[in-house]
Structure 1
Amino acid sequence: MGDKSMMTVLWGDYSAFDPGVSSPLHEVSKRQARAAFNRLMADKDERVAELRRLLQLNGIDLEPSDFGLQKLNDWFRAAVEGDPATGRLRSIWYGVVNDLALFLGDVMIQRCPTLHWTFYDKGAKDLSFQRHVIMGFSKVPNPKYNVDIDFLLGSYAHRIVANQEEERDAFVRWVRGAQEKA
């Protein structure tokens, strides 16, 4: 994993969200994907609480201020781990990415009440097809404009573990970017 400083994460009883589907969401039926979305939204508060417990174990308070987002970003950059055998993230990190995405999306919504979580079904070729995204942006010309924060965060994590990511304030920048477009 190159020169990325690794830290030991205390996992406690953290467990990842189970969407109830075993294939990527763009590969399952709309009914299955919608059920996974509904399940995620119903469990969102519990997922954020699970993330909060994990972070507290590791000395981080989950807070929506820019300062809190930066501390969270710093922890994530230092802690996220890849699996050298596969080149992917360690499995548990996909759960953390999901939970972090829910938190960051909720911060965007708290700061910009016109924004909301949506099940995105606007085109089978879109990268966000049948995924949970943030929509409701009024300062962009495209009415389908969305932020797939889970995809964005997963991509960021992969770049971090591959030592290809230099951006150190992504979380703050993403939330501010949403505010500018809301």
Structure 2
Amino acid sequence: MGPCGELRYPSYPESNGTWRFPGIGEFQFYDKYMKASLEAAADANGNKDWGKSGPHDSGHYNQFPEDTRFFRRGGTWDTDYGRFFMEWYSGKLLQHGDRILRSADNIFRGTGAKLSVKVAGIHWHYKTRSHAAELTAGYYNTKHSDGYLPIARMLAKYDAVLNFTCMEMRDNEQPQHADC
């Protein structure tokens, strides 16, 4: 499905030292196909300017939500533009997951195999309103939006199992500044 086999964007790459826990990560939409899709979605929404690029104020891999204009309390994520961008961004991830599951279902239907999808348990910055690390990973899960219900509905279409990672994590075992 994606990095580490999980349905998510590679918003927090650990292997090359680019990202360190508990950084917010970064949005991943810079190739020509994602840019064209964003532009088309903005045009269809009647806000052509929103399709010129993604958020300029979302910070960098190792920042904290309050260090950015996008993710801070009352930030851009909670505006019409922010909601548009997040619906588009998470929607593209859901489309990807649906395509993969449809293909797998076509291949394995009737064999007795059970489809299963890993969903990342992004627990850092969860106690903030924006849930910045979840947003950059493609999960539109904020104080006002349930980012996991659309994923569960997509999996249900294919009778697939949802494997949610990091369920063993305990808040009191995490650094307090991580807002787990």
What TM-score do you get using the length of structure 2 for normalisation? Answer: 0.29
The structure that is helix-richer by fraction is: 1
What TM-score do you get using the length of structure 1 for normalisation? Answer: 0.29
